[in-house]
């Protein structure tokens, strides 16, 4: 239940980031006036230079290249709707499709997890030697069956110690699992926050980038802005796909555990080591999302940041892995 509430809280934070992006979009119109002035001056120089070159060479004037600054000017004038609206409309189905896939896999995983917990409890209750560990009623019942002889007192003391050790081990294991799940959700929130920040910066300063691209020598600014915007926009669907893969892996693991727990002779050990390992993989993997998004649309200028994010993810995963090994070693003793 605590992790369910935490997941709902993280979902609310992601929704706040979506709302923040929508609220900040109108601010790009504030740059339109400055961008139009810069683009107009650049268009004047651009057209004058092209016409002068054609006249100096006694060549016919090619009108088609001269339309470029005017087309960019139209994009600047209607930047929020014509540029951002078009890109977001084209890419939003990709985001929705990946998110629907994630929701489906997450629902299946939660359903199988509840089924596994129920079967694990039933498996412990089937075995008289472990039933008192999982049920207070069974523990009290076995205590009532014991007498007050020295051997019964020793048995009673051993039961209390075994139950206390079981509860401590289970509490530590559940706490560490919840900690890793919290770090996993935090990694997703970090990526989404950085994505929203970069998109807002690119959107607000987009008209200025378009205006600068009118000048000779800066034409590449236009394509660089578009590729970077698309690449960063794709961080969210790539993150959803990555989470879907992890959720599917966990679903398959839960299905295997359910099959084992269905065997009446199977005794669960309560170990979550494989699950914890995949949580660490997920934490590290989230910080490789900028690199993967760069494979889809190659955006120059962001490789250094991608390396820093990936390095941070590796260090975080290494710290989590070291803590996992230390705690797991103590639990196994």
Q: What is the mean pLDDT of the chain?
A: 78
Look at residue 87 in the predicted model and tell me its pLDDT: 93
Least confident range from 21-30, 183-192, 206-215: namely 21-30
Q: pLDDT of 101-115, one tens digit each?
A: 888 887 777 787 788
| 126-149 b/e (C-beta count within 10 Å ≥ 16 → b) | eeeebbbbbeeebbeebeeeeeee
Q: Which of 329, 9, 10 is nearest to 173 (CA)?
A: 329
- Residue 239 backbone dihedrals phi, psi, to 5 degrees: -65, -40
76-82: long-range contacts, CB 8 A cutoff, minimum separation 24: 76/32, 76/35, 76/36, 76/39, 76/207, 76/210, 76/211, 77/32, 77/36, 79/28, 79/29, 79/32, 79/35, 79/206, 79/207, 79/210, 80/25, 80/26, 80/28, 80/29
d(CA 24, CA 267): 56
Residue 124 has pLDDT above 60, yes or no: yes
Q: How confident is the model at residue 152 (pLDDT cuts 50, 70, 90)?
A: low
Name the packing angle between helices 235-261 and 150-204 (round to 10°): 160
d(CA 90, CA 81): 13
With beta carbons less than 8 A apart as the criterion, state whether 101 and 241 touch: yes
Look at residue 231 in the predicted model and tell me its pLDDT: 93
Q: How confident is the model at residue 148 (pLDDT cuts 50, 70, 90)?
A: low
Most confident of 202-216, 240-254, 297-311: 202-216
Q: Which of 202, 194, 226, 197 is nearest to 290 (CA)?
A: 194
Residue 120 has pLDDT above 80, yes or no: no
d(CA 135, CA 143): 13
Look at residue 253 in the predicted model and tell me its pLDDT: 83
Enumerate the domain spans of the chain: 22-332
| CA quadruple 324, 327, 331, 333: dihedral, nearest 10 | 110
pTM reported for the whole predicted model: 0.76
d(CA 102, CA 240): 6
């Amino acid at each position: 239940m605590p992790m369910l509430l935490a997941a709902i809280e993280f979902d609310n934070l992601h929704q706040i980031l979506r709302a923040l992006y929508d609220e900040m979009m109108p601010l790009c119109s504030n740059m339109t006036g400055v961008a139009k002035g810069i683009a107009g001056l650049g268009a004047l120089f651009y057209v004058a230079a092209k016409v002068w070159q054609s006249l100096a060479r006694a060549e016919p004037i090619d009108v088609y290249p001269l339309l470029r600054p005017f087309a960019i000017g139209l994009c600047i004038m209607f930047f929020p709707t014509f540029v951002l609206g078009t890109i977001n409309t084209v890419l939003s189905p990709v985001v929705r499709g990946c998110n629907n896939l994630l929701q489906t896999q997450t629902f299946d995983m939660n359903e199988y997890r509840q089924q596994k917990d129920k079967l694990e409890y039933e498996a412990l209750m089937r075995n008289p030697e472990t039933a008192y560990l999982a049920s207070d009623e069974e523990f009290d019942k076995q205590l009532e069956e014991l007498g007050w002889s020295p051997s019964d007192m020793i048995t009673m003391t051993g039961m209390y110690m075994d139950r206390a050790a079981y509860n401590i081990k289970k509490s530590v294991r559940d706490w560490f699992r919840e900690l890793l799940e919290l770090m996993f959700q935090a990694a997703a929130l970090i990526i989404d926050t950085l994505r929203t920040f970069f998109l807002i910066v690119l959107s607000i300063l987009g008209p200025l980038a378009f205006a600068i691209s009118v000048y000779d020598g800066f034409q590449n600014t236009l394509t660089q802005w578009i590729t970077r915007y698309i690449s960063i926009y794709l961080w969210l669907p790539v993150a959803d796909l990555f989470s879907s893969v992890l959720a599917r892996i966990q679903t398959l693991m839960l299905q295997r555990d359910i099959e084992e727990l269905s065997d009446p002779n199977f005794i669960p050990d309560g170990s979550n080591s494989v699950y914890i390992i995949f949580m660490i993989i997920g934490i590290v993997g989230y910080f490789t999302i900028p690199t993967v998004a760069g494979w889809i649309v190659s955006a120059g200028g962001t490789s250094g940041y991608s390396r820093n994010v990936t390095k941070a993810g590796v260090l975080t995963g290494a710290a989590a892995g070291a803590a996992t090994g230390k705690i797991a070693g103590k639990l196994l003793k």
